[in-house]
Amino acid sequence: HCEILSKNKRVTDEDGIWTGARRWQVRLQVEVASVHGVRHLPSTIVLGANKGLVFYHGMPKLCRNCGALGQLPAPCIVMKCKICVQDHLTRAFKQDRVCNLYGGGGHLFRNCPSSYANMQIGGGEWSESETN
């Protein structure tokens, strides 16, 4: 969806306390047929059991279910899998799931031996280069 131009930065409030949010500078991919001529990021991301919200200046309001411009997810009747983007509900996805961290099969992110949390539990050494 985009090219990451900077390392993540913690977002702090006016008292210098971390809000739990992080900020990156990114370059969106050009997609002429899309809104504003760029491929916009999804408004939600999932990494294992962690859900994140994505927002930025100029981001169009898209349905979280089907991706339609200006539509809210509550009245949406489109069946679209969030994993493979085919015409079925996500819970009906039949293929083996893959790890969100590195794209390999055999486990999901929550069980990935290369994740920071699992390395800490297992007592291993973790480095950011392992995820690239």
Q: Alpha carbon 33 to chain centroid distance?
A: 22
The pLDDT value recorded for residue 123 is: 59
Residue 75 has pLDDT above 80, yes or no: no
Distance (Å, rounded) from C-alpha 1 to C-alpha 51? 18
Residue 27 has pLDDT above 60, yes or no: yes
Residue 14 has pLDDT above 90, yes or no: yes
The pLDDT value recorded for residue 12 is: 93
The pLDDT value recorded for residue 132 is: 42
pLDDT in tens, 104-130: 777 777 778 777 777 777 655 545 544
Q: With residue 119 as reference, give the H or E element that holds it.
A: helix 116-122
Handedness of CA 122, 124, 128, 129 (dihedral sign): negative
Q: What percent of the chain has pLDDT over 70?
A: 73
| Band of residue 17 on the pLDDT scale cut at 50, 70, 90 | very high
The pLDDT value recorded for residue 131 is: 44
